Amino acid sequence: MLAVFPAHIASEKKGLGTGTPRDLHVLCYQHHREMLPKLQVETGKPPVYVCQEDGCLVCYEASGGYFLDTEDPKTLKLEIRPKVRCSHDGRLMYLAEVRPEQRSFRLWKCPECDASYTHQQSEKKAGA
């Protein structure tokens, strides 16, 4: 049975030692639940993060961003996945925090350089 984590905040823990990948704490963009890493030991690839919500197809991989674990063309066509890019290195960011009291708040983080972005930052730039 999978453990249940707080639905609205994901913290980030850095790995120990040189070359150890960071332990990202990714939220599902649909359910705002922390996604669990599914290690791919046999292939040596970085982990794929999967949503804990029953029936949810949302996954995240640091090099490719969010994707759906399905090959159904209709499902893939209908789903609009977030594609927030880091302004420093262009990588696809992951959802790290939402605030229930501020429904529009979203904190996005870069899996590589640790840069962050919020919708509020975008609104401030547009109004400047």
Q: Please tell me the predicted confidence (pLDDT) of residue 58.
A: 96
Partners of 49 in the β-ladder: 37, 60
Q: How many structural domains comprise the chain? A: 1
Q: Please tell me the predicted confidence (pLDDT) of residue 38.
A: 87
- Walk across the sheet containing 102-109 and list its strands: 94-99, 102-109, 116-118
Judge whether 72 lies within some domain: yes
Judge whether 63 lies within some domain: yes
Q: Please tell me the predicted confidence (pLDDT) of residue 2.
A: 30
* Calpha distance 25→33 (Å, rounded): 10
Judge whether 16 lies within some domain: no
Judge whether 26 lies within some domain: no
Confidence check: pLDDT of 126 > 80? no
Judge whether 103 lies within some domain: yes
Judge whether 118 lies within some domain: yes
Residues 75-103: pLDDT tens digits?
Answer: 999 999 999 999 999 999 999 999 989 88
Judge whether 31 lies within some domain: no
Q: What is the DSSP letter of 9?
A: B
Q: Please tell me the predicted confidence (pLDDT) of residue 18.
A: 28
Q: Please tell me the predicted confidence (pLDDT) of residue 121.
A: 63
Judge whether 15 lies within some domain: no
Q: What percentage of the chain exceeds 90 in pLDDT? A: 57
Domain that holds residue 45: 36-127
DSSP assignments along 86-116, one per residue? PTTT-PBPEEEEEETTEEEEEEEE-TTT--E
Confidence check: pLDDT of 27 > 70? yes
